[in-house]
Amino acid sequence: MTVSAEILSRLKEAVGPKGYSEDPAEIAPHLVEWRSKYQGKTPLLLRPANAQEISRILAICNETRTPLVPQGGNTGLVGGQIPFAGEVLLSLSRMKAIRSVDTEGMHLIAEAGVVLAEVQKAAGEAGKYFPLSLASEGSCTIGGNLSSNAGGVNVLRYGNTRDLVLGVEVVLADGRILDLLRTLRKDNTGYDLKQLFIGAEGTLGVITAAALKLFPKPVERATAFIALPDPAAAVHLLGRLQDTTGGLVSAFELIPRIGLEFVCAHMPNCRDPLAAPSPWYVLAEATSGHAGLLSGLVESTIAAAIESGLCTDAVIAASEAQCAALWRLRESLSESQKYEGGSIKHDVSVPVKDIPAFIAEGCALVEKLVPGIRPVPFGHLGDGNIHFNLSVPKGADNAAFLARWEEISCAVHDLVHRFGGSISAEHGLGVMKRDEILRYKSETEMDVMRALKRTLDPNGILNPGKVVAP
């Protein structure tokens, strides 16, 4: 598509000289996602400073039917933030103010361009805690987190992003500003409109700010790296730790031996924390607002699990440095796979009790399709979200392997569906899974989604071609 010079001129005028760029070198990093799977194009990068400027932008785009793609930190993994057809690109990167922090009301208000790590820091400086945490937290933004309903490692205890939001400010497709930036814990006055925009990937409106829930700052943290024979043992251990701690387990991450080997082989300052290898591991963390009891409960539970044969070994972090070292192993899993060649990735969820069977059947399924394939299933076992990643067989051709992405993913996703799961647990649909979701959602469900899109964006200008097919 081509955007006329007149429309581009009007858009540039709407944001002023500091609010746009046509420099190919400056625009280039915004057009490719970090895995280099998707490459886009745009005639103009807009960088508005506030909601009023976004309002003017969308009013022009809606009037002229000019499509526009909103973008946060460009850390998405399903192509939702990429302008594929030459759409105008809207970056929220200049909107990076934390407007307020209310320690009594236990919330803060952040603009969409604030990096997640900065929100965590602001909460910590106020003596509070914002629990959303993911590997890209140093570059992903609050707007992107809300638009994709990001998950991360603490979903087990605190929920997904949508569970951490009290209110939002949104600019609608026609340019109107919808002020839902309320901080009430109870507001039972009709539809909960903010939830329409959380997880919508910028297809229904542009989120410009959010009121986020804060929590008491953890005083005691017990972090353990545990060796187990299989995922079934991990599920049983999760139940034991939840019972013993009274539900204080915040993260419970499953790691296969092959994943740990990749990390230790390729990532700096990473080493196996246990003396003997194990087929599977769990990185478990529990937190409490009171010091003195939690570590003992976690340690005694793990010791009893080892004695009973449920686990084989474990190490419990004795310092913040040791805790960080253990988490580095988990957070390096995705990056380390790059060094092993092509990787076909799946972000799926199934009921927690079915994870062992799903992994076993899934590994057998892909081995039959591609003999020698190297499955690396890992992730958030506590909430049922497994990153079922598959590395190319040793010595095989990368391009030939990656060319089978759709075929292999279809087989994996059919298995996920059979287990009553979801083909996108925390990454969204974007363009990658937009058409595939039609295999699994009912026609009624898709009709409702399309009706929402038509109602809120009748001219189809907001992130066209993402989430819902045009």
Structure tokens at 58: 């969308």
Q: Which residues pair with 251 in a beta bridge?
A: 285
Is residue 146 included in any domain, yes or no?
yes
Identify the domain boundary among 23, 57, 91: 91
For residues 211 and 183, is the Cβ–Cβ distance under 8 A?
yes
Distance CA 408, CA 388 (A): 11
Residues 329 and 381 reside in one and the same domain: no
Residues 118 and 167 reside in one and the same domain: yes
Is residue 436 included in any domain, yes or no?
no
pLDDT along the chain (470 residues), means of 10: 94 97 95 85 97 98 98 92 96 97 98 98 97 93 96 94 98 98 94 97 98 96 97 98 96 98 96 97 93 90 97 96 96 95 96 98 98 98 97 96 96 98 94 94 96 97 93
Residues 318 and 352 reside in one and the same domain: no
pLDDT at 432: 92
Residues 142 and 228 reside in one and the same domain: no
CATH number at residue 197: 3.30.465.10
pLDDT at 36: 75
CATH number at residue 85: 3.30.43.10
CATH number at residue 322: 3.30.70.2190
Is residue 433 included in any domain, yes or no?
no
Q: How far apart are the first and last CA of the chain?
A: 15
Distance CA 465, CA 368 (A): 34
Is residue 461 included in any domain, yes or no?
no
Residues 229 and 330 reside in one and the same domain: yes
Domain that holds residue 257: 220-334
Residues 169 and 64 reside in one and the same domain: no
Is residue 440 included in any domain, yes or no?
no
Residues 372 and 273 reside in one and the same domain: no
Residues 212 and 243 reside in one and the same domain: no
Give the per-residue SS3 of the chain: CCCCHHHHHHHHHHHCHHHEECCHHHHHHHHECCCCCCECCCCCEECCCCHHHHHHHHHHHHHHCCCEEEECCCCCCCCCCCCCCCCEEEECCCCCCEEEEECCCCEEEEECCCEHHHHHHHHHHCCEECCCCCCCCCCCEHHHHHHHCCCCCCHHHHCCHHHHEEEEEEECCCCCEEEECCCCCCCCCCCCCHHHHCCCCCCCCEEEEEEEECEECCCEEEEEEEEECCHHHHHHHHHHHHHHHCCCEEEEEEEEHHHHHHHHHHCCCCCCCCCCCCCEEEEEEEEECCCCCHHHHHHHHHHHHHHCCCCCEEEECCCHHHHHHHHHHHHCHHHHHHHHCCEECCEEECCHHHHHHHHHHHHHHHHHHCCCCEEEEEEEHHHCEEEEEEECCCCCCHHHHHCCHHHHHHHHHHHHHHCCCECCCCCCCCCCCCCHHHHCCCHHHHHHHHHHHHHHCCCCCECCCCCCCC
Residues 124 and 35 reside in one and the same domain: no
Residues 347 and 329 reside in one and the same domain: no
Which class for 455: exposed (0-12), middle (13-18), buried (19 or more C-beta within 10 A)?
A: exposed
Q: How many domains are contained in the chain?
A: 4
Identify the domain boundary among 41, 68, 91: 91
Is residue 442 included in any domain, yes or no?
no
Is residue 450 included in any domain, yes or no?
no
Residues 66 and 117 reside in one and the same domain: no
Is residue 457 included in any domain, yes or no?
no
Q: Taking the model in full, what pTM does it have?
A: 0.92
Residues 292 and 308 reside in one and the same domain: yes
Identify the domain boundary among 40, 64, 91: 91
